[in-house]
């Protein structure tokens, strides 16, 4: 069974030979990994990763236009200001050249399940507005913000459909909604101001016959019903260290979406606690021995993690996902 087949079967709730394995390791540790293994690709091969997380394609807005707008507005961009400039063309095929190479390498040569990073609605605009300003705008400028979100949603839809045309297995929507203890905004704002624009992309992806996943850090207990109702197939990371509970997932959502995560970068890997690290890996994989989990890091492994601890963790995980 290839990694691609394994993940597809897991999401369909079919019997598989083992828990799929992956890890977000490149962003902060590429140099360390390359020094020890020759390349990140060699590390991925060593641990027989089942998935590949692809980045690429055009940005929603030109960085030069955003920089110019910041300068004109004294460093503070409001929603009505952003409406004065146009997004990029998501149908510009030249912008997908590197993505095409990665899909061919991971899907065709390595037979891995390929998912592509795409923007959400809230997180995508935080770098433009600043997260504190953005939260204030949700209360101060709702009408203007709806226009911004509507335009972002349409751009996201077209971008996602282009990625599907290129052959990805899943569209991955990144949209951090959670703080350490609760949502960053009220459930009422989530339902009225954000969910309708997620629906645009989810429905388009589903109609195209593709899978769709969502990433949000933090405690998103108050959003789980909405995520399930939207029709997301996979949720990453379901963060226990922020108050998420696996038993709640198993009792209420296991038939709605599967989880990707389990190796917490906030509390578990990178802290020099090998016994605890090993215990946690086995605890999580044993919890999902009957399905429902793609074992993966909860986010990018942080740069304070040594290469020795990284390889120790994935040596354990490699064995743990295969344990009967």
Residue 183 per-residue DSSP state: B
Tell me if the pTM is above 0.95. Answer: yes
CA angle in degrees (0–180, nearest 5) for 189-214-154: 70
Please determine, for residue 95, whether its predicted confidence score (pLDDT) is greater than 90.
Answer: yes
Calpha distance 152→87 (Å, rounded): 8
Antiparallel, parallel or unpaired: β 211-215 and 234-236: parallel
In the chain, the N- to C-terminal Cα span, in Å, equals 17
Q: Where are the alpha helices (DSSP H) in 233-306?
A: 246-252, 274-287
Q: What three-state secondary structure class fits 205?
A: helix
Residue reference for tokens 């703080």 = 179
Residue 6's pLDDT band (cuts 50, 70, 90):
very high
Residue 203: its pLDDT value, please?
Answer: 98
H or E element, residue 26? helix 26-37
Residue 41: its pLDDT value, please?
Answer: 98
Within 8 A by CB and 6+ apart from 88, the residues are: 58, 59, 60, 61, 62, 95
**Residues 119, 152: contact at Cβ < 8 Å?**
yes
Residue 19: its pLDDT value, please?
Answer: 98
Residue 300: its pLDDT value, please?
Answer: 98
Within 8 A by CB and 6+ apart from 51, the residues are: 3, 7, 20, 22, 112, 113, 114, 115, 294, 296
Which tops the pLDDT comparison, 324 or 192?
192
Mean pLDDT of the chain: 98
Give the domains, in start order, of the chain with CATH numbers: 3-65+98-120+159-182+202-320 (3.20.20.210)
Q: Please write the tens of the pLDDT for every residue from 108-140.
A: 999 999 999 999 999 999 999 999 999 999 999
**Residues 17, 6: contact at Cβ < 8 Å?**
yes
Q: Please write the tens of the pLDDT for every residue from 254-311.
A: 999 999 999 999 999 999 999 999 999 999 999 999 999 999 999 999 999 999 999 9
Please determine, for residue 244, whether its predicted confidence score (pLDDT) is greater than 90.
Answer: yes
Q: Please write the tens of the pLDDT for every residue from 96-109.
A: 999 999 999 999 99
Phi and psi at residue 114, in whole multiples of 5°? -110, 125
| Residues paired with residue 115 on neighbouring β-strands, in sequence order | 53, 170
What integer is the mean pLDDT of 158-164? 98
H or E element, residue 215? strand 211-215
Residue 324's pLDDT band (cuts 50, 70, 90):
confident
Please determine, for residue 315, whether its predicted confidence score (pLDDT) is greater than 90.
Answer: yes
Residue 191's pLDDT band (cuts 50, 70, 90):
very high
Calpha distance 87→149 (Å, rounded): 12
**Residues 234, 257: contact at Cβ < 8 Å?**
yes
H or E element, residue 234? strand 234-236
Calpha distance 291→289 (Å, rounded): 6
């Amino acid at each position: 069974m290839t990694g691609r087949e394994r993940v597809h079967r897991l999401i369909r709730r079919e019997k598989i030979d083992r828990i799929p394995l992956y890890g977000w390791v490149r962003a902060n540790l590429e140099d360390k990994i390359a020094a020890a293994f020759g390349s990140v690709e060699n590390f991925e091969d060593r641990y027989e990763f089942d998935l590949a997380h692809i980045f690429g394609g055009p940005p929603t807005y030109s960085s030069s236009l955003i920089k110019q707008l910041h300068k004109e507005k004294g460093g503070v961009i409001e929603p009505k200001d952003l409406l004065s400039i146009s997004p990029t063309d998501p149908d510009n095929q030249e912008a997908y050249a590197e993505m095409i190479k990665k899909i061919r390498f991971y899907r065709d040569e390595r037979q891995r399940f390929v998912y592509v990073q795409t923007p959400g609605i809230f997180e995508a605009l935080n770098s433009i507005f600043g997260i504190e300003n953005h939260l204030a705008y949700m209360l101060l400028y709702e009408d203007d913000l709806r226009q911004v979100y509507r335009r972002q949603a349409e751009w996201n839809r077209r971008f996602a459909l282009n990625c599907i045309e290129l052959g990805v297995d899943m569209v991955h929507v990144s949209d951090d909604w959670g703080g350490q203890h609760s949502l960053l905004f009220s459930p009422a704002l989530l339902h009225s101001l954000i969910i309708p624009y997620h629906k645009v992309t989810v429905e388009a992806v589903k109609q195209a016959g593709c899978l769709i996943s969502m990433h949000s850090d933090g405690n998103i207990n108050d959003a789980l019903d909405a995520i399930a109702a939207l029709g997301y197939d996979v949720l990453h990371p379901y963060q226990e260290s922020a108050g998420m509970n696996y038993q709640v997932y198993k009792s209420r959502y296991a038939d709605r979406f599967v989880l990707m995560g389990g190796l917490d970068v906030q509390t578990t890997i990178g802290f020099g606690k090998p016994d605890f690290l090993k215990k946690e890996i086995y605890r999580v994989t044993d919890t999902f021995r009957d399905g429902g989990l793609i074992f993966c890091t909860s986010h990018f492994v942080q740069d304070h993690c040594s290469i020795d601890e990284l390889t120790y963790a994935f040596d354990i995980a490699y064995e743990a996902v295969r344990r009967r």
